[in-house]
Amino acid sequence: MAEISSKYPQYTHDYHLVGSDKTETTLLEEMRQPAWTVFNNIGLPTARRGNEKWKYTDVRPIANKTFVYAPNVSIDRGLELKSLENFTPNSDDWINLVFIDGVYQPRANKKILDSVEVSTLHEALENHEELVKKYLGREADYSEDGFTALNTAFIEDGAFVLASESSEENTVVNLVFLTSGQVSDCVTYPRVLLIAQPGSHLSVIENYVSLCESSSLTNSVTEIYVEENATIKHYRICLEKAHGFHVGVSRVCQEADSTFISASFALGAAIGRNDFHVLLDGEGANCELSGLYLTLNDQHQDNFISIDHAKPNGTSRLFYKGILDGSSKAVFGGNVIVRKNAQKTDAQQTDKNLLLSDSAEIDSKPSLLIYADDVVCGHGATAGHIDEDTLFYMRSRGLDAETASRILIHAFAAEILDKVDLLPLGEFLNNIYDEYIPSATLSFGSVQ
């Protein structure tokens, strides 16, 4: 135990400062202690041998670096909230909740509705203590996960969203976690708890945006509970800078006849990890997860996605696409589990990758673990470059190679981008991808 905490002295130092200025013992403090003990025992998953969960991602660059807990550093967080609009999607109709360097910014919340409650975890502990007690940490198991343990050990505040039955379909909650770059080498531990009560409807956007040019770590944990007949549309946007590390853990638990539709967009991190787990814990639940990852230069993006069918009659669709350029590397670890009694499950899993450079690498592991017989499950994976015939066709119509390849890459990305049905968000993402999507620089025709 001593060995691990001496390995991470900064985390140890910061851990002991968290909450030390407060006198009352809250639920959050009760959660921190055991999580810290677990983190001390297991540390970060740096082992390479036999480490199937991190087989293709080496987290040693994260483990070997010292990150300062950003909320402990007193700086002026009075970043002009208006300028947020430059880096995050926004609309006057959305309910915003903004955290800058891990600290809640009360000025940003503009809109209040009765049907959807959006607050900090602190406020939620006052108004809905029972709910927070019941759900916070229930699905985010940290017993074997160093990053979740670390996040939980630093749980000080977070975002709380509660949608009630009277909520309307067009309600949008926009959560922003911004790393401002004012503190160099800093870490934040964003935490989200979303509860969609029976029959509720909601769209929610999670934005993780960094302006930090030095290295930074975002270690987030999101828990989403979709109760009976509720419908959640979820978007996860991760826009990190070149030296940013991002380890995002999302845990979703669905009850009977609920629907969860999610799209993840990842761009920019030096090492990015999207660890997404959905448990279909009620009959007839429906889940669609899609994602688009674009990696450039020497970036590394790891998508570790699993869908666990624990009850019968569930449907799931897992569809991820990747565009890889430079000497970047992307990982897709998909895992669909169908438990013994989850009969009549219909699960499909697809991963498609476009490799644009000679030195990019994709490691794809779309696995199926099936314990029930009356099921229809399938998966598919492809990797390749832009189809030469298509490119030839476009060039024969007078488009130059660069324009033609850009159009084709855009079309490849559009299949996921089109799943976004919030107009401001769609425009925001399209602009970003327009900026970052490279044009293929391959010399086609060299292969016989």
Partner 1 sequence: MSTQKIISRNTSSDDLASDYKWGFTIDIEEDAAPKGLNEDIVRLISAKKEEPEWLLEWRLKAFRHWMRQNFEEPSWAHLSHPVIDFQDIHYYAAPKTKEDGPKSLDEVDPELIEAFNKLGIPLDEQKKMTGVAVDAVLDSVSVATTYQDMLEKSGIIFCSMSEAVKNHPELVRKYLGSVVPYTDNFYASLNSAVFSDGSFAYIPKGVRCPIELMTYFRINAEESGQFERTLIVAEEASYVSYLEGCTAPMRKSTQLHAAVVELIALDDAEIKYSTLQNWFPGDKEGVGGVYNFVTKRGKAAGRNSKISWTQVETGSAITWKYPSVVLQGDNSVGEFYSVALVNNYQQADTGTKMIHIGKNTKSTIVAKGISAGKAENTYRGLVKINASANGAKNFTQCDSLLIGDQCGAHTVPYIEVKNPTAQMEHEATTSKVSDDQLFYCQQRGIGVEDAHYMIINGFCRGIFQELPFEFAMEASQLLKVSLEGTVG
CB 173 within 8 A of CB 95: yes
Least Å distance, CB 378 to partner 1, is 4
Binding partner 1 (rule: CB under 8 A), the pick from 340, 392, 400, 415 is: 340
Burial letters for 305-333: b for 16+ Cβ neighbours within 10 Å, e otherwise?
Answer: bbbbbbbbbbbbbbbbbbbbbbebbbbbb
Site residues for partner 1, 225-254, by CB under 8 A, read none
Least Å distance, CB 383 to partner 1, is 4
Binding partner 1 (rule: CB under 8 A), the pick from 385, 395, 406, 410 is: 385
Strands 201-210 and 159-163: unpaired
Q: Of 174-182, 233-241, 273-281, 378-386, which segment contacts partner 1 by CB under 8 A?
A: 378-386
Report DSSP letters for 268-306, one per residue.
Answer: --SEEEEEEEEEE-STT-EEEEEEEEEE-TT-EEEEEEE
52 belongs to the binding site for partner 1 (CB under 8 A): yes
337: helix, coil or strand?
Answer: strand
Least Å distance, CB 36 to partner 1, is 29
369 belongs to the binding site for partner 1 (CB under 8 A): yes
- What residues contact 25, with CB distance under 8 A and at least 6 apart? none
Nearest to partner 1 of 150, 338 (CB atom): 338
Binding partner 1 (rule: CB under 8 A), the pick from 353, 413, 416, 420 is: 353
Least Å distance, CB 320 to partner 1, is 13
396 belongs to the binding site for partner 1 (CB under 8 A): no
378 belongs to the binding site for partner 1 (CB under 8 A): yes
State how far the Cα of 171 lies from the Cα of 188, in Å rounded to an integer.
28
Cα dihedral across residues 36, 38, 43, 45: positive or negative: negative
State how far the Cα of 93 lies from the Cα of 112, in Å rounded to an integer.
10
Binding partner 1 (rule: CB under 8 A), the pick from 41, 83, 86, 367 is: 367
Nearest to partner 1 of 136, 375 (CB atom): 375
344 belongs to the binding site for partner 1 (CB under 8 A): no
Report CA 218 to chain centroid distance, whole Å.
11
Report CA 206 to chain centroid distance, whole Å.
8
61 belongs to the binding site for partner 1 (CB under 8 A): no
363 belongs to the binding site for partner 1 (CB under 8 A): yes
368 belongs to the binding site for partner 1 (CB under 8 A): yes
State how far the Cα of 249 lies from the Cα of 407, in Å rounded to an integer.
33
Least Å distance, CB 185 to partner 1, is 32
Site residues for partner 1, 302-331, by CB under 8 A, read none
Strand locations in 90-182 (E): 95-100, 103-104, 116-120, 159-163, 172-179
| Rg of the chain (C-alpha set) | 22
CB 11 within 8 A of CB 44: no
Site residues for partner 1, 255-294, by CB under 8 A, read none
442 belongs to the binding site for partner 1 (CB under 8 A): yes
Least Å distance, CB 300 to partner 1, is 14
Can you give the binding site for partner 1, defined by CB under 8 A? 50, 52, 340, 343, 353, 355-385, 442, 446-448
